[in-house]
Amino acid sequence: MSFIKRFPKGLLFGVFILALFLLPVFFPNPARIGMFISCGVASVLAMGWLLILRIGCLSLGQVAFLGIGGYASAILSQKLGISPWCGLLFGGVAAGLIALGIGLVFLRIRGLYLAIITFAFAEIVRLVVSTLEFFGGHGGILDIPKYPSLRLPGWGIVNFDSPFSCYYILLLIVLGSGIFMWRMDHSALGRTFKSLPQNEDLAESLGVHPLRYKIFSFVTACFFAGVVGAFTAHYYGCLYPGSYTAHHSVIVQIQATVGGPVSVAFGGLLGGSLMVMIETFLLNVDARWVFIFYGTVIILITFFLPDGLLSVPREVLKYWSQIKKEDGVIASR
Amino acid sequence: MTELIQVFLNSLVLSANYILLALGLTLIFGILRTLNFAHGSFYICGAYVVYALAKVAGVNYFLASVAAMIIVGGLGVLVEATVLYPLANKVKVASLGAILGVSMVLEGVLAFIFQGEDVTIGSFFTGTVSVGGATLSVERIMVVVLCGVIMLALYQWIQKTRQGTAIRALAENPKVANLQGINTRLIRYLVMAIASCVAAFAGAIVTPLFYINPYMGGGVVFKALLIVAVGGMGSVEGSILAGLLIGFVECIGVTYLGPIAEIISFLLVVVIFLFRPRGLMGVEYEFH
């Protein structure tokens, strides 16, 4: 079983990235590509959720930042005529700034209270956008400008009017946030994050400023959620408050837990993509199965694989070495 | 004046609805140390059992309510035995995730049985009385009275009886309570059964005023969780106080300011947290 350890992970990763870039070639069906786009959106949200879990906080309001990014970008491009390409950045910055503001105040609170606070914040955001006329009220915002065509050197003029071309925009966002969070997770910063939930007081006594690191993780996660939110606003061309309810935050949590906190980037990617694919399939059968499916999956995962699907190789290795050890004991008798 | 009385009664109905759910949640938090996201589903289950028995099968309304309380109480015990107890000593995220799963499964199953459409249970107390020139429906008054009775009974039970003392001891310090010979397992079952019964009662008694549909459990439970947090998790008095506060603010706000009032109640929650991070009457609990 040691081949798992010896396997060239870099090669595997390269093939994986290549496969992601070639997906539209294998699946020339626009509906399929639409599904992959939903997968990407869910993946970035799940990654953010896992990054926040690293610092020991449970966020029940990730979709709020998706909404903030989307609304910020949509309003900037509609009212001020800012290009959607800059809107992607502005959406992220808006979500990040708001995350910084509420993080400075609320990340001091520990435990389950923080989960409830994030939920209350998400509901405030949803209620604000659904009651104020400035944000379009219950009907949401329609006719958001789509991505203008770009002149790329060597490619000529590229139009972004089909799901296929938009898929590549999203792919770049997912890869960017994934690599960023992966690097963050595997650096000294990531190790500091991991120390916080274990013993915050001890970490503080060793010179770690808990609030600073918590805010760093929280703002990063929310920034990328905002970028993806801005992407969806310009991709779908409309926004409405009903897609940012507490129910959606719960779904983010389930997707992230299915992927597992073993690795922030890959856990989010695996959990988000897999769950959205199955969900799309179930929606074609009967929407009511989606509830039962999500509920059953999260119960099974917490009981049998508490560290998510990514921990399967580790568990198998552990099981294998245990069997070997027992064999050795028998042989030595 | 008449309008004031109307608003007052409506606020009381809303508060009673919130408090009944929050009481169960705060008891469960005190003993089981988890946020019971399935509480809203229990509430809707209670409402649907009454709907199925009273409206469809034609059983007497009060019998149906009692049946709903027994069935949902059993459901609560089942959830505790199969899901929550095995996860009791794991990290907090595990039991939270599992209980979210339970609530989603329950909603899905209800949607399959009852087709996921809005239904009404219908009014059981009819007629109106006029108080000080205001016309009030008997139904709303009965809801407030019944909720008050249940609330008082629960409060007395926790404060005065032996089991209630055991519950308070366990909530305060599980280790010391165990050393005194309190059976944690039994108390856990008892709390879960009582809390689910009260949720079902709330569902049976309050929902005739509204429409019900299988998916409304999530929204209800989140509001109740907010109230529990504002009151201070694990504190019974705090939940009652916070329930009244949020219920009145919301109802008065909606009457005079329109839909923007919901934002006010959430903002109020945030402000309370800013100044009292453990809630109005919160006690310091140890978290994982």
Q: Which domains are present in chain A?
A: 3-17+32-332 (1.10.3470)
Alpha helices in chain A (DSSP H): 3-6, 9-26, 30-54, 62-79, 84-106, 112-131, 163-185, 188-198, 200-205, 210-236, 246-259, 264-285, 288-304, 312-332
pTM of the predicted structure, to 2 decimals: 0.89
pLDDT in single tens digits along all 333 residues of chain A: 455 566 677 888 888 889 888 888 888 888 889 899 999 999 999 999 999 999 888 888 899 999 999 999 999 998 888 888 999 999 999 999 999 999 998 888 877 788 888 888 888 888 888 888 888 888 888 888 888 887 777 777 877 878 888 899 999 999 999 999 999 989 999 889 988 888 888 888 888 888 999 999 999 999 999 999 999 999 998 888 888 888 899 899 999 999 988 888 999 999 999 999 999 999 988 888 899 999 999 999 999 888 889 888 888 888 888 888 777 666 655
Residue A48: per-residue pLDDT = 94
Q: Is the model more confident about A298 or about B126?
A: A298
For residue A80, which phi and psi values (nearest 5 degrees)? -105, -5
In the numeric block, the tokens 């837990």 are attached to A257
The one-character DSSP state at B12 is H
List CB contacts of A155: < 8 A, sequence separation 6 or more: none
Closest CA to B36 of B220, B213, B170: B220
Q: Residue A332: its pLDDT value, please?
A: 59
What is the band of B131 on the pLDDT scale with cuts at 50, 70, 90? confident
Give the distance, in angstroms, between the CA of residue B59 and the centroid of all CA atoms in the same chain.
Answer: 25
* Structure token digits, residue A292: 């039962």
Give me the residue label for tokens 């509906």: A31
Question: Which residue bears the tokens 């108080």?
Answer: B131
pLDDT at site A165: 86
User: Which B positions 12-71 lie with beta carbon below 8 A of chain A?
Assistant: 35, 37
DSSP helix/strand/coil, A155: coil
Chain segment B146-157, per-residue pLDDT in tens:
889 988 998 899
**Yes or no, beta carbons of A113 and B277 under 8 Å apart:** yes
Is A295 in contact with B100 (Cβ distance < 8 A)?
yes
Residue B111 has pLDDT above 80, yes or no: yes
Instruction: Using an 8 Å CB-CB cutoff, list chain B residues near A106.
Output: 273
Chain B, residues 205-224, CB within 8 A of chain A, namely 218-219, 222
Task: Report chain B residues whose CB lies below 8 A from the CB of A250.
Answer: 37, 100, 104, 218
pLDDT score at B284: 57
The token duo for A30 is: 């626009």
